[in-house]
Structure 1
Amino acid sequence: MHDMPTASPVSRAWAAGRRWLDGRTVHRHTLDLLVPLICFGLMLLDVPGVAEANESLNRFSATAVLAVGAGSLLLRRRFPWIPYVVALALLGWLHELTLMQFALYKIGRYRGRAAATMATLGYVVFAYALYLHERWPEKQADTLLEFLSLVVPIGVLAAGVGVAANRQDLVRELEVQKGRAAALHAVQQERLSVARDVHDFVGRELTLLAVRAEVLAVRARGEAHQKDFDELSDTARKAHRILNEIIVQRAREENATPGIAALAELATEGERAGSPVVLDIDPRAAALSPLRQAAVYRVVQECLTNAVKHAPGEAVRVRIELDEVYLRIEVTNGLPRSLPTKEPVSAGTGTFSMGERILSMGGTLEAGRRDGEYRVSAVLPAGV
């Protein structure tokens, strides 16, 4: 991460130079060295005046002192207050302002607005005390107003730029974290998609294989191959159980999607929002695979959300039926008696997302007004 705010032309040129150096970015340790060197280069311009104003220093010793001061910037990331204290010392001794500008910027950059404000106030008070004691800087400021017009803008500008850079650092870090979260979510969704495909397609074939083997075992009853067919059926069923326990269970853990048992909590939330919810759930639904239960939960969740938004106060009935072949989900609610005073916030993609989920599992979904109520009906293979 560079040390200048990206919003300024200087920072953009700085970033371009970094990309030019190695095609992508300068190593952090290289940048840590460049900043003190830049500061020292600017301070070298003051060496003649410093040596002339201070009899205890010549040009060589003044250069060495300024080099030590600039070197304190090597600690700016972890200990930004150290360059600040050194800058105050140089300010009181040699009336040197260059390092103070860097120090205030670094405090704003690495410690934020509150620290930058405190450091700027401390710098102004310290400089004002020097002004009262030594009439510093005598040549540049003959009056207090002239003095403050020199000291205050330097501190406020340097600290303000540092605070702006700090905020941009936080924004960039947030973007990085959001990117990581999005990438992780994409990976989890891909894993869930693979698990769903394996469960739906491979699981179906394993079920057919087990049933077919049982039929052949019945036909071969009393013959030598009956035992082989029975073993084949048991193996297919065992493979299917392993499929559920390993692939599907892990997919559910990664996706963290609730199942049938969590519908009661959804109903409670709907009632708190003002829409009474009646659940009619086939007890056998609790034995559905995790992917089927996740589909049921998401459909009911979306329907209850839509009912609260578009038909507040209307009762909602949730019915889940299960037989040997199909799983049926039906959610109905009354239509609103009057138009809402404010248009509800809605992306308009909820029904589409429900349909995509059901379709991906080999089912169908219908939604719309019917017989004076709004009804969502989904039918999909029961699975195992």
Structure 2
Amino acid sequence: MNPQPAVSALDRLTAAGRRRARRWVGCPRILDVLTALSCLALMALDIPGLAEADNSLDSPVEAAFVLFLGASTLLLRRRQPWVPYAVALIFLWWLHELTLVQFALYSLGRYRGWRAGVLGVVAYVVCALVLFSLPGWPLHGGDSLPSFLSLVVPIGVLAAGVGIAANRQDLVRALEAQRAETAVLGAVQAERARVAGDVHDFVGRELTLLTVRAEVLARRARGESYAKDFEELSETSRRAHRVLNEIIVQRGADGAPTPGLDALAALAEQSDRAGSPVKLDVDEAAQRLSPLRQAAVYRVVQECLTNAAKHAPGELVGVRIAIADHQARITVSNTLPASAPSRAPVSAGTGTAGMAERVRSVGGTFTAGHAEGAYEVVAELPTGLPAA
């Protein structure tokens, strides 16, 4: 009995559980609720003292209710962080409570940047200094000024400083995400340019042959009644070629057209020499695909072999190109390595976007992802061939 399916099912369930946990933990609303509950739990340690102090709270229930209302304002910390900050200053004056102000100052620095964080700290320190000078403030260790400098000021500076640092990290992550999105868009645009270049090469070649053939036939039919038709056909094809040249931007000298299926064997041999063996299986009917569709197949296989060499070096790569029901199906899969490479591969992360754009340019569909211990890319595109 082979236990492998059970292990794979367990791995899939574990991975699904981890994804759900990341979604729950990463949800902003859930994080805000957890933050408010954490603040409430810390402030709840002061409930017995607050009920006994001279602050108009007559019972632990009233003190707990007031603290609950104060902690609830942290649910607004992303959109309106000044609200919990103002409530925290009220708590500082009324209840001598320093917990909420720490969360509020962190929220100011995190969601409004360093200017708001610095302003919040300054206002908090001034307010606390005034309150420290009033009778009735519970002193922490004899002299009020040393207590103020050793407790109140570090609390505010540290909380706001951590929030400002987190804000910087948020900006860095947002910038990285924007760069990644820009890189993907650039890859898509580059692939579109390559497709346009291939259209120019393949269609332009056929139009040139059509023009030449029509001119030859026109010369042979000179003197006949239908000679004018061949001349019109030649002029029409020449005019279509000029329009094609005007629409598609000419590439540089290195813009050779994308190879077709005939070049797959050399591509597989190159991958073999690099240490990633390839099992290539191509239906004979695939040779009847148009040059543009063959170029799409080549681009998918080329990028897949490159990715396999980066992320799964030494693993066998299976390439299958099948023709069925007027659809060409390209399947490229490789087993995932047991352990990650010692060094992260150098990758721009845009190859998949380029492959997908190339397949969509000829009316196909594209999927890529993990499948039972392997990474599989499946592309389907219409053959455009007449029925057999």
TM-score of the pair, normalised by structure 2? 0.57
Give the distance between the partners of 1:95 and 1:140, measured in 2 at CA: 15
Amino acid at match of 1:47: I
Amino acid at match of 2:147: E
Q: Deviations over 1:14-67 (max 9, x none)?
A: xxx996625675332222322212211221122112112135211111111111
Contact 1:87/1:100 (<8 A) preserved: yes
Amino acid at match of 2:214: A
Amino acid at match of 1:212: R
Contact 1:140/1:147 (<8 A) preserved: no
1:302-317 mapped onto 2 (5 Å cutoff): none
Partner residue in 1 for 2:250: 291
Give the distance between the partners of 2:129 and 2:152, measured in 1 at CA: 9
The answer to which structure, 1 or 2, has the higher relative contact order (CA under 8 A, 6+ apart) is: 2
Distance 1:156 1:141, change over 3 A: farther
1:162-173 mapped onto 2 (5 Å cutoff): 162-173=163-174
Is the radius of gyration larger for structure 1 or structure 2? 1
Partner residue in 2 for 1:99: 100
Give the distance between the partners of 2:119 and 2:34, measured in 1 at CA: 27
Give the distance between the partners of 2:31 and 2:246, measured in 1 at CA: 52
Partner residue in 1 for 2:348: none
Partner residue in 2 for 1:28: 28
Q: Shift of the alpha carbon at 1:139?
A: 4.6
Amino acid at match of 2:237: A
Partner residue in 1 for 2:111: 110
Partner residue in 2 for 1:155: 156
Q: What SS does the corresponding residue of 1:122 show, helix, strand or coil?
A: helix
Give the distance between the partners of 1:234 and 1:90, measured in 2 at CA: 87
Q: Shift of the alpha carbon at 1:160?
A: 0.4
Q: Deviations over 1:151-192 (max 9, x none)?
A: 011011100000100100111111111111111111111111
Contact 2:106/2:159 (<8 A) preserved: yes
Give the distance between the partners of 1:18 and 1:123, measured in 2 at CA: 41
Contact 1:108/1:159 (<8 A) preserved: yes
Give the distance between the partners of 2:19 and 2:127, measured in 1 at CA: 40
Give the distance between the partners of 1:20 and 1:141, measured in 2 at CA: 52
Give the distance between the partners of 2:193 and 2:47, measured in 1 at CA: 67
Partner residue in 2 for 1:202: 203
Q: Deviations over 1:194-227 (max 9, x none)?
A: 1112112321221222122112111111225424
Give the distance between the partners of 2:118 and 2:32, measured in 1 at CA: 24
Distance 1:19 1:122, change over 3 A: farther
Contact 1:54/1:94 (<8 A) preserved: no
Give the distance between the partners of 1:67 and 1:192, measured in 2 at CA: 60
Partner residue in 1 for 2:37: 37
Give ranges in structure 1 of 5+ residues lacking alignment.
1-16, 249-289, 299-384
Q: What SS does the corresponding residue of 1:291 show, helix, strand or coil?
A: coil
Q: Shift of the alpha carbon at 1:121?
A: 1.3
Partner residue in 2 for 1:214: 215
Give ranges in structure 2 of 5+ residues lacking alignment.
1-16, 256-388
Amino acid at match of 1:86: V
Amino acid at match of 1:74: L
Q: Shift of the alpha carbon at 1:79?
A: 1.3
Partner residue in 1 for 2:278: none
Partner residue in 1 for 2:146: 145
1:1-384 mapped onto 2 (5 Å cutoff): 21-22=21-22, 26-54=26-54, 56-57=56-57, 58-134=59-135, 136-140=137-141, 142-246=143-247, 248=248, 290-292=249-251, 295=252
Amino acid at match of 2:132: Y
Give the distance between the partners of 1:194 and 1:59, measured in 2 at CA: 73
Contact 1:137/1:147 (<8 A) preserved: no
What is the Cα-based RMSD across aligned positions, in Å?
2.4
Contact 1:105/1:158 (<8 A) preserved: yes
Distance 1:96 1:188, change over 3 A: same
Give the distance between the partners of 2:211 and 2:94, measured in 1 at CA: 91
Q: Shift of the alpha carbon at 1:238?
A: 3.8
* Structure 1: 4+ residue segments shifted above 4 A: 17-20, 22-25
Contact 1:214/1:229 (<8 A) preserved: yes
Q: What SS does the corresponding residue of 2:162 show, helix, strand or coil?
A: helix
TM-score of the pair, normalised by structure 1? 0.57
Q: Shift of the alpha carbon at 1:89?
A: 0.1
Q: Shift of the alpha carbon at 1:145?
A: 0.9
Amino acid at match of 1:169: D
Contact 2:214/2:233 (<8 A) preserved: yes
Q: What SS does the corresponding residue of 2:26 show, helix, strand or coil?
A: coil
Q: Deviations over 1:66-95 (max 9, x none)?
A: 111111111111211111111000000001
Distance 1:116 1:48, change over 3 A: same
Give the distance between the partners of 2:46 and 2:111, measured in 1 at CA: 28
Q: Deviations over 1:253-279 (max 9, x none)?
A: xxxxxxxxxxxxxxxxxxxxxxxxxxx
Report the more deviating stretch, 110-119 or 100-109. Answer: 110-119
